Amino acid sequence: MHWYEKLKRYFPIEEMKSREHMEALLDDRGDVYHVDHGDHHVLLYVEGERLVFVDYLLVAKEARGQGLGKKLLDMLKEKGKPILLEVEPADYDDTDTVKRQRFYEREGFRHVERLRYRRRSLATKEINELEILLWSPADTTDEEAFDLVRAVYEEIHTWRDKDFYGESYQPTEEVLTLDAEDDADDDTAGPA
């Protein structure tokens, strides 16, 4: 089975790029957009000068718990750059989302709490909210993470979007926001 079909069977439609979009990225932006796949995994990622962005990581159900996901992330960590990825919020009705979050936490990823990512799906027209996770070999601030995610959104996610989907995704400022530090603190504060 082609690696795209594996992704399409697993990831929700609102998170998927089209096959044409991904193949064009690999052909035209192959200097930064990469695929690593085998019988039991698919990894698509962006590697720039300042970051690695995991676009899709899939480990087949029959291979989970055998260390393959860790091995793939370790390969990316060896590059010595901050690693960012988008993940669905934990939903206890969908155990995969909870397991995924726990896996990334065990691998040293942290939530970029102040960063909000809300994009309207061109496929479903629904708003899709994702959490941004970060692993970094050095201290990477939320502001730096925001700048890196913004670059990926503008240079990968929305690259030639009108060509592939017949319409454009929302502008960056509608999709990505960075809360003020006081706002982030207010989310965790108890009653006064």
Query: Which tens digit of pLDDT belongs to each residue from 17-51?
Result: 999 999 999 999 999 999 999 999 999 999 999 99
pLDDT band at 189 (very low <50, low <70, confident <90, very high): very low
Q: Is the pLDDT of residue 184 over 90?
A: no
Q: What are phi and psi of 55, to 5 degrees?
A: -80, -45
Pairwise CA distance, residues 183 & 22, whole Å: 36
Residue 96: per-residue pLDDT: 78
The one-character DSSP state at 11 is S
Pairwise CA distance, residues 44 & 143, whole Å: 25
3-state secondary structure of 163: helix
Q: Is the pLDDT of residue 93 over 80?
A: no
Quote helix, strand, coil % in the chain, to nearest 5. Answer: 40, 25, 35
Q: Is the pLDDT of residue 191 over 60?
A: no
The one-character DSSP state at 14 is G
Beta pairing, strands 52-59 & 83-87? parallel
Pairwise CA distance, residues 118 & 76, whole Å: 26
Residue 183: per-residue pLDDT: 58
Domain spans of the chain, in order of start? 3-188
Q: Measuring CA to CA, which residue among 42, 14, 38 is closest to residue 157?
A: 14
The whole-chain average pLDDT of the chain stands at 92
- Average pLDDT in the 148-167 region? 97
Residue 92: per-residue pLDDT: 66
Pairwise CA distance, residues 136 & 145, whole Å: 10
pLDDT band at 178 (very low <50, low <70, confident <90, very high): very high
Q: Dihedral (C-alpha) 91, 180, 168, 44: value to the nearest 10 degrees?
A: -60
- Residue pointed to by tokens 């690259």: 159
C-alpha distance from residue 71 to each of 10, 44, 129, 151, 154 (Å): 20, 15, 28, 26, 29
Q: Dihedral (C-alpha) 22, 36, 14, 93: value to the nearest 10 degrees?
A: 170
CATH of domain 3-188: 3.40.630.30
Q: Is the pLDDT of residue 114 over 70?
A: yes
Considering the entire predicted model, what is its pTM? 0.90
Residue 41: per-residue pLDDT: 97
Q: Which H or E element spans position 176?
A: strand 176-178
Q: Measuring CA to CA, which residue among 35, 171, 53 is closest to residue 112?
A: 53
Residue 157: per-residue pLDDT: 96
